[in-house]
Structure 1
């Protein structure tokens, strides 16, 4: 069936005028795939309507800690020590808040002591990180690595890996830092979904199934390691393909239904949700699927 301006597109987007940003294939990111799996209406609000969501201080702190850890691994190995990491906190926040000045609005009217306390809470997460591993003994291949691939079915996957460790023997470890406060059981399920997503992308890009998927929970100083295998990743690949097809079907009709759960308490769109007596904005149509990019807040989790 021929595509129209309001139908989901599975191929390339229409060409843009010369001088504008290059056209990119529509793609699925782990955050948006997880959104649709959790609640199709949440996916619509974020990926189709693209409604703004005010960040929380916890999200900003997670973004800050991720930035500090990325900077830490850019230092020579002997310098990767706790006090040096703490010295990176204020410069990292200055740079992040300069890039996104709207983030500082969360601290409007607060005195410097409260801001200092908030920065101190980021330092505590860094202390927790150092209790889990010694970065002086590691040399990652990459931090905040952008990865992208296309499955045989044509579904394009795109995301950012917090850290990629590659052993001299070629074995791959995918590391993700978690600083959020979602319920542990639900949070772990979402986190493992994200990690399997990255495992599929890296497997397709490099032809190697990651040896280990490692989640580091900095709030409570615990880590979780998991070893996937090829049959499991093939099954997960089919899951991602099914999610994308369901997204395309919903995009064509505008039928993105809410799916109430324990996570509704963390949603900033309750006023627009029928499950809470709200009314969604008029469906704008689907001229082009979401490009699949994840914001720094998505990646901080």
Structure 2
């Protein structure tokens, strides 16, 4: 597979209607109370690997981030593909899927009216047809429909019957670390083989960055193995923009190594929480970060470290280092 690199995105908030209803903020985490961290999700683990300060501001301080048109479009498309499989197989046509885009966007606006500000609309009246930026919203909706059309070039939904959609998967490792996240789709064969499917609305990664793209999928594979006793037969990323796929077959040895990697990440997070020391790690993604004003690398100062009445699920003393 070869494709151009996608523009990085640091917005991991789940703006879909189902995500807002759950209040999960896109990471499958616990209630969003500043200072409390009870589990590790693939997005938060990736945050810490990218920049410990970013992890702190998102997971501990719980600072809000501006939704971007790209991120909101992506989650609208996710909602469309989830709802598509509510229809009988014979009715899962391209026309039916495209017709869901507008209603899912309106449903999202009902749950979070401020998203109308993405197009300059008045949140009190997001459906105002005379607003001067309506054309921008129309083009944005057309681009969402194009992504849905891209899906139909990669799979035939009339021939698929997903076992689960937008499902929470979670497990607790032997050291007490809880892993959890939401999977777009699980397919299960009559013989019990599992395929994990994740939709991506950004561009497919270059070959050199495929391992980073698969981090999330290996996370899900590990959780499913530990919680259900079955290693998924296939991990499949579907890139709707480039109309491409990336597939991978994990094995037990690799998942054991990946488990040790996650445990090592959690050890580092725990130590950072104990010392209240989350240092920035400047890099290319900083250009898309909402928190530059609070980052010492850009002359900013982080907010005071939050101290809730009940602290995170971390031991009173630093745990021993877990080898990777």
Superposition TM-score, scaled by structure 2 size:
0.79
The range that moved more, 209-218 or 101-110, is: 101-110
Q: How many Å apart are 1:156 and its aligned residue?
A: 0.3
Tell me the residue number matched to 2:279.
Answer: 257
3-state SS of 2:199 partner: strand
Distance 1:139 1:31, change over 3 A: same
The structure 1 residue matched to 2:194, chosen from 172, 176, 179, is 172
Measure, in 1, the Cα distance between the counterparts of 2:74 and 2:312: 28
Equivalence map 1:269-284=2 (5 Å): 269-284=291-306
Q: How many Å apart are 1:245 and its aligned residue?
A: 1.2
Maintained 8 Å contact 1:213/1:225: yes
Matched, 1:210 2:232: yes
Q: How many Å apart are 1:257 and its aligned residue?
A: 0.8
Cα deviation, 1:115-153, whole Å, max 9, x if unaligned, reads 111111000001111111111110000110111110111
Q: How many Å apart are 1:191 and its aligned residue?
A: 2.7
3-state SS of 1:204 partner: helix
Cα deviation, 1:233-291, whole Å, max 9, x if unaligned, reads 0110111111111111100111101111221122111111111222111222464339x
**Superposed CA RMSD:** 2.1
3-state SS of 1:132 partner: coil
Distance 1:274 1:181, change over 3 A: farther
Number of corresponding residues: 269
The structure 2 residue matched to 1:89, chosen from 101, 108, 121, is 101
Q: How many Å apart are 1:182 and its aligned residue?
A: 8.7
Give the gaps of 5 or more residues in structure 1. 1-20, 291-301
Give the gaps of 5 or more residues in structure 2. 1-30, 122-131, 314-324
The structure 2 residue matched to 1:236, chosen from 243, 255, 258, is 258
Tell me the residue number matched to 1:69.
Answer: 81
Measure, in 2, the Cα distance between the counterparts of 1:139 and 1:35: 33
Cα deviation, 1:62-82, whole Å, max 9, x if unaligned, reads 010000000001111111111
Q: How many Å apart are 1:231 and its aligned residue?
A: 0.5
Measure, in 2, the Cα distance between the counterparts of 1:87 and 1:250: 48
Tell me the residue number matched to 1:126.
Answer: 148
Distance 1:160 1:186, change over 3 A: farther
Maintained 8 Å contact 1:55/1:103: yes
Maintained 8 Å contact 2:292/2:300: yes
Tell me the residue number matched to 1:296.
Answer: none
Tell me the residue number matched to 1:293.
Answer: none
The structure 2 residue matched to 1:44, chosen from 38, 52, 56, is 56
Matched, 1:157 2:186: no
Equivalence map 1:127-146=2 (5 Å): 127-146=149-168
3-state SS of 1:213 partner: strand
Q: Higher relative contact order at CA 8 Å, sep ≥6: structure 1 or structure 2? A: 1
The range that moved more, 280-289 or 193-202, is: 280-289
Measure, in 2, the Cα distance between the counterparts of 1:114 and 1:98: 20
Q: Give the structure with the higher percent helix.
A: 1
Cα deviation, 1:7-38, whole Å, max 9, x if unaligned, reads xxxxxxxxxxxxxx8x9991111111110111
3-state SS of 1:194 partner: helix
Maintained 8 Å contact 1:251/1:285: no
The structure 2 residue matched to 1:30, chosen from 34, 42, 51, is 42
3-state SS of 2:153 partner: helix
3-state SS of 2:183 partner: strand
Matched, 1:114 2:126: no
Distance 1:181 1:283, change over 3 A: farther
Q: How many Å apart are 1:112 and its aligned residue?
A: 2.2
3-state SS of 2:304 partner: coil
